[in-house]
């Protein structure tokens, strides 16, 4: 429905050419903005409603007691079955934070969600073969678990700066959980709108940057940089991919075209994972949620993990 609305608004009502750069950018902007707005309003409300039945400290205790990274694995597996891009995963990430789930567990979700899902798995299997698809999915889930565990061990909870319910960001415990169904619904809607008001502008900025990149930077612009035949090819591919914004399902055919042109599979996959899992629009949105220190730790650890995966695929294939 959102895609139909975006197409109608840009191509029919405003009469932009669907093949033009500006038409493609505007369509991308409207579609992603409306989609993320919708996700924030709905997902935050749903999670807030569920929270009224589960006291935050109980939820926190449950996940904190899960040993051997089982909480991170659960979050990473949940991310693997949610077909969201990096920016669309942010509302659920915020919901996890508001529910006082351990920070590392929340990061395990937001890392895996844009990288692995059933659509990407099918596309990877049909394009590269099922062994490669399975290995890709496995490494993506492991990446989410490992980075989540690392961030969790670093005790960075105070680096979350998005304020909830007027507190100082130091304590996200809820002092009041409504008992009646009407109260729970009202509370959930209120939580949703409060969060939306804090994030609506930064979402426009982030998606706007992504739309410009999406419409005006051609794929072949990067091919000469990705074809560097040296040990530095994978880090270069990762760094080039980070500023761009797109989903893995959109990128799989492009990555296949790059490998056909002789670019090593691991290098191409590192490029794809950096685009899908780490993007400039995502960084802009997350800066409203966390300090630059935590954002830098998140991006650098995931980037190092992607580089390792790229080298692994180049070694195996």
Percent of residues, the chain, with pLDDT higher than 70: 79
- Is the per-residue pLDDT at 149 higher than 80? yes
Q: How confident is the model at residue 312 (pLDDT cuts 50, 70, 90)?
A: very high
CA-based angle 231:236:240, to the nearest 5? Answer: 165
| Spatial contact of 209 and 284, defined as CB atoms under 8 Å apart | yes
Residue 145 has pLDDT above 70, yes or no: yes
Q: pLDDT at position 116, please?
A: 85
pLDDT at residue 61 in the model: 61
* Residue 59 confidence (pLDDT) above 80: no
Question: Residue 306 sits in which domain range?
Answer: 2-316
Residue 168, pLDDT > 50, answer no
CB of 150 closer than 8 Å to CB of 104:
yes
Going from the C-alpha of 122 to that of each of 92, 110, 137, 140, 156, the distances in angstroms are 24, 21, 11, 15, 36
Please give the backbone phi and psi of residue 290, each rounded to the nearest 5 degrees, phi first: -135, 165
Q: How far apart are CA 148 and CA 176, in angstroms?
A: 30
Say if residue 98's pLDDT is above 70.
Answer: yes
Q: Residue 219: is its pLDDT beyond 60?
A: no
Number of domains making up the chain: 1
**Interval 67-95 mean pLDDT:** 79
At which residue do the structure tokens 């009224």 appear? Answer: 52
Q: Does pLDDT of 214 surpass 80?
A: no
Mean pLDDT on 190-213:
76
**What would the two tokens of residue 136 be?**
């890709």
> 78 is written with which tokens?
């949940």
Per-residue model confidence (pLDDT) at position 84: 67
Average pLDDT of the chain is 80
The secondary structure of 160-196 as a DSSP string is B----TTS-SS----S----SHHHHHHHHHHHHHHHH
Which pTM value belongs to this model? 0.69
The mean pLDDT value for 228-235 works out to 78
> Are 76 and 144 contacting, i.e. CB atoms less than 8 angstroms apart?
yes
Cα separations in angstroms, 39 against 32, 87, 92, 298, 308? 10, 10, 8, 23, 32
Comparison of pLDDT for 183 and 68, the residue scoring more: 183
Give CA–CA dist 254/188, Å, rounded.
Answer: 41
The four Cα atoms 166, 191, 100, 117 give a dihedral, to 10 degrees, of -140
Looking at residue 170, its pLDDT comes to 38
Using CA atoms, how far apart are residues 37 and 41, in angstroms rounded to an integer?
6
């Amino acid at each position: 429905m959102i895609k139909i609305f975006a197409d109608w608004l840009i191509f029919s009502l405003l009469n932009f050419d669907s093949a033009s750069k500006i038409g493609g950018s505007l369509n991308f902007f409207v579609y992603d903005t409306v989609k993320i707005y919708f996700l924030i309003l709905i997902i935050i409300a749903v999670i807030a409603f569920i929270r009224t039945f589960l006291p935050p400290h109980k939820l926190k205790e449950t996940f904190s007691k899960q040993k051997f990274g089982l909480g991170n694995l659960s979050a990473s597996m949940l991310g693997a079955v949610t077909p969201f891009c990096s920016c669309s995963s942010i509302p659920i990430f915020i919901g996890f934070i508001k529910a006082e789930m351990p920070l590392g567990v929340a990061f395990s979700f937001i890392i895996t969600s844009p990288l692995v899902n059933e659509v990407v798995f099918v596309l990877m299997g049909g394009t590269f073969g099922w062994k490669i698809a399975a290995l890709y999915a496995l490494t993506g889930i492991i990446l989410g678990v490992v980075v989540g565990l690392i961030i969790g061990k670093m005790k960075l909870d105070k680096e979350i700066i998005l304020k909830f319910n007027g507190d100082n960001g130091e304590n996200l415990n809820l002092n009041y959980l409504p008992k009646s169904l009407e109260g729970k619904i009202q509370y959930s809607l209120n939580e949703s709108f409060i969060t939306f008001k804090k994030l609506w502008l930064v979402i426009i900025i982030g998606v706007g940057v992504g739309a410009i990149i999406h419409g005006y930077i051609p794929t072949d612009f990067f091919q000469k940089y990705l074809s560097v035949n040296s040990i530095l090819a994978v880090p270069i591919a990762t760094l080039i991919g980070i500023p761009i914004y797109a989903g893995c399902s959109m990128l799989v055919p492009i990555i296949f075209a790059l490998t056909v042109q002789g670019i090593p599979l691991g290098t191409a996959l590192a490029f794809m994972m950096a685009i899908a899992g780490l993007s400039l629009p995502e960084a802009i949105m997350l800066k409203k949620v966390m300090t630059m220190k935590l954002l830098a730790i998140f991006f650098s650890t995931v980037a190092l993990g992607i580089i390792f995966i790229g080298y692994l695929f180049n070694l195996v294939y």
